[in-house]
Amino acid sequence: MYKRQKRFSLGLRFLLRDAEGFSPAEAWELLFACLSAAEVKGMELYGARQQERGERCYVCVFSRASLSRCRSLYARLSAHPLICSHLLFYRPFLQNNRLELITGYEYLGAVGDNGDVQYGDAAYGCMRFHGDNPPLDPLLEPPVFLIAPDSYCGLLTPEQCIRCLMRVAYEYFPLAQIVPFPLADGGRGTTDALLHALGGRYVQAQVQAPEGGKLAAEYGILPDRTIVIEAESAAVAQQLLCQTLDIGYTSFIVGLYGAAACSEREPFQLPLHPKIGNVQIRIIDSGSGSAFFLDRSGFDARIREASIVLTGDGYPEGAHRAAVEEIRRRCAQENVPAVVLEGEDPPPGTADEALERLRGRAARIFRLLEAGGRLQHR
């Protein structure tokens, strides 16, 4: 059982509900192959299953380490594209205070000088750290890939696309720096995308259902205390606005989609609230919020750090969503190459088919980039 330690701990949250069926054993095997014995010797390993906002994950914990070793371990793992492609996007890494809230830990053992993990109650795979840290060419900075897709053909979320693209990129450019950046256009996924880009946290709430009773809901809080609300129902958005106004928040982003999306005939009505006149509220909806999202999330600064930008939505040329076209325009302004993942006819019929097409198209793109010579950081 994991116990509170006098020293420091670092946890990684691996997504289990994955299209490729990632398991706790595969999570540990990936870590065993990535890290060397010297990086983790003397640490204790724990694991636990967890639910986070409806997603099943497995937490791999490195415990009993100094602060400096925890920081080095975080720097190493957070820069590894293959590992990051299997982590939750929301809080992929956890520290002591949050790890202590998780229950049901299993103890894998302590890491010996040779990398063997011994004396635990659970075992996965080879139970031995055998990786290394490949030296970098001091004359060559690795390329920086900014991966910023929209949902793919309406069948894959931006997060699913990013995971696929990170894994393919790693096959051809294992030393590349890969920056994931899920897109949003003001509708569904806006809260997830803003919290990923800027940081912040989710807050669980309850709202009144139209037929009576309570419905579970949530909203996001950005580091500058801006509340982010997205909803398919105008009534839900109005209730969440009132709840957060009561708490004292004064800055809001409200993203609407589906039946709640703004229109000239039926614009979104702000709720009657005594504080409503003294706050800042930006209302966006799907299709009209692309430029606002990219501005608010600091996307232009990310472009300037990139060697190349990959975007797309799986639709053919001339049919791309506004977010993809806006990224293409901004990349041209910054003189950074943008590769758009085009679709083809007939469109995929299932998520599995869409994933296979995306993987194949990405492999062709990265093969061409690899064959074209060394990509360097700008």
3-state secondary structure of 234: helix
Q: What is the pLDDT of residue 2?
A: 55
Kindly give the parts of the chain with pLDDT less than 70: 1-6, 18-21, 133-140, 260, 262-266, 287, 373-378
**Residue-by-residue DSSP string for 270-336:** PP--TTGGGSEEEEEETTT-HHHHHHHTTHHHHHHT-SEEEEE-SPPTT---HHHHHHHHHHHHHT-
Q: How far apart are the first and last CA of the chain?
A: 47
Contact in structure between 358 and 161 (CB atoms under 8 Å): yes
Distance from C-alpha of 113 to C-alpha of 115, rounded to nearest angstrom:
6
Contact in structure between 343 and 314 (CB atoms under 8 Å): yes
Residues 6+ apart with CB under 8 A from 155: 314, 348, 350, 351, 353, 354
Residue bearing tokens 């790693």: 170
Backbone torsions φ then ψ of 57, nearest 5 degrees: -140, 165
Distance from C-alpha of 136 to C-alpha of 132, rounded to nearest angstrom:
12
> Over the stretch 119-145, which tens digit does the pLDDT of each residue have?
999 999 899 999 886 665 555 678 999
Contact in structure between 60 and 92 (CB atoms under 8 Å): no
The CATH superfamily holding the domain 144-185+291-371 is Glycerate kinase; domain 1 (3.40.50.10350)
Q: What is the pLDDT of residue 373?
A: 59
CA angle 172, 174, 178 (to 5 degrees): 95
- State how far Cα 171 lies from the chain centre: 20
CA angle 170, 172, 178 (to 5 degrees): 40
Q: What is the CATH number of domain 190-288?
A: 3.90.1510.10
Q: What is the pLDDT of residue 285?
A: 79
